Each structure stands twice: as C-alpha cells, then as structure tokens.
Chain A
Amino acid sequence: DQQVKQNSPSLSVQEGRISILNCDYTNSMFDYFLWYKKYPAEGPTFLISISSIKDKNEDGRFTVFLNKSAKHLSLHIVPSQPGDSAVYFCAAKSSGSARQLTFGSGTQLTVLP
C-alpha cells in the first residue's frame, strides 16, 4: 500500500531548462509535504517543503506546487543545472502522528550539459 507515489523512476532534462518532478499521494491525513535530494553514498538532503494550507512555496530555483483536490504535488527546478542530477524523494507527514516521513520511491533526475 504505497501512500506516496512517484511514478517516474527517471527524468532527463537539458541544462538551463525546467525540471518537473511529480508526486501523488492517497492519504488525506497528510498535511505537510517535503522534497529531499539524495546523492549516492549520502543521506537525503532537505530541499523544500509545503504545508497543506498553501498551494505554492518557492525557494530560489525550487518551487513546490500542491493540488490538494488532485492529491498531487510537483517540484519545479528552474533553471536546471548539472549539479542537480540526483535522486529526488517526495515525502509526507501525517497530522496527529509523530510526524514521521512517508517517502515515495524516488525519481532519478539527470541534467545533461
């Protein structure tokens, strides 16, 4: 029972273009969503988050959009850089819990120079 789904295992984008990573969730109790980036042999690194009371949050080149009615969120990276090549995990926290993270399976982003 996958409550957080990232249906694209991989994505390739040209340097300077926009990268769009998608995530769907099924649990209506999720009220906080996060994106983490992970390089090989390292732990996940926090990128950006969004509360369920918002529909957009921006931090530099990274913007997260939340569509609650569709139970969908996306991460936009503009412009994409080769250093952005990594695995991106979508994660969610449930209200009324210890706030542990439920992760998606990840999307490997490759930014081509």
Chain B
Amino acid sequence: DSGVTQTPKHLITATGQRVTLRCSPRSGDLSVYWYQQSLDQGLQFLIQYYNGEERAKGNILERFSAQQFPDLHSELNLSSLELGDSALYFCASSVRWGQGSDTQYFGPGTRLTVL
C-alpha cells in the first residue's frame, strides 16, 4: 500500500459524458502527478500540481482538466469523452517539486471504460 488513494476504482460511462477522478496523496506529500496508461501509448504524464498550483503539463487534452485543493487532494476532470479515452488513470504523489531524488508513489489507479 503506497498511501495514495484513488476513487473510483472502476468507471463505465458513455461517449460525450463527463467524469471526475479523485486522488488523495500520501500524508505530507505536496506534489500530485496524473498519468494515463493506454494500450497503445503506455504510461504517459498528463499534469502536475504542487501545493495547489499547476507546475507542469504533459500530453493532456484540452477536454481534460485538473485541480488540487487546499487539503491537497486532486481531481482530474474528463469531458466530452471519446472511446479512445478508455484507459487506466494513475495518480502519484511526492513530497516536493523539482527534486530528482524525490520518489513518486503511485495509487492503484482508476480504470475508465467509455462505451
């Protein structure tokens, strides 16, 4: 158990819908990262927040957005869903931001299926 929690575990929805994925980082961690794992793209970085502020963006679609709240939990919002958005979405957390030695610990993931 990494200490990172993600809800829900599974999500099944239809094309065009909007969903929200939730992540609670490990106690004491200020950085939250979101990653997407799809069959054809592997594990890819989406976006990172540190202490409530966005710090980096990766391959995140404009239909996707995220935020980190004052209690440090984070939400990833996916809208106008398409079949290709079906994937595993992982959240990771780390203590700091910008340190190479800072280890990222991953949650169990949310499996999103878009029908």
CB neighbours (8 Å) of B108 from chain A are 41-43
Please give the number of chain A residues whose Cβ is less than 8 angstroms from any Cβ of chain B in the complex.
25
**B25 on interface, CB distance cutoff 8 Å:** no
Please give the number of chain B residues whose Cβ is less than 8 angstroms from any Cβ of chain A in the complex.
29
**B65 on interface, CB distance cutoff 8 Å:** no
CB distance from B45 to the nearest CB of A (A): 4
**Bound Cα distance from A42 to B9, whole angstroms:** 10
CB distance from B27 to the nearest CB of A (A): 17
**B4 on interface, CB distance cutoff 8 Å:** yes
**A101 on interface, CB distance cutoff 8 Å:** yes
**Bound Cα distance from A95 to B100, whole angstroms:** 7
CB neighbours (8 Å) of A69 from chain B are none
**Bound Cα distance from A32 to B45, whole angstroms:** 16
**Bound Cα distance from A97 to B58, whole angstroms:** 11
Give B34's nearest chain A residue, CB to CB: A100
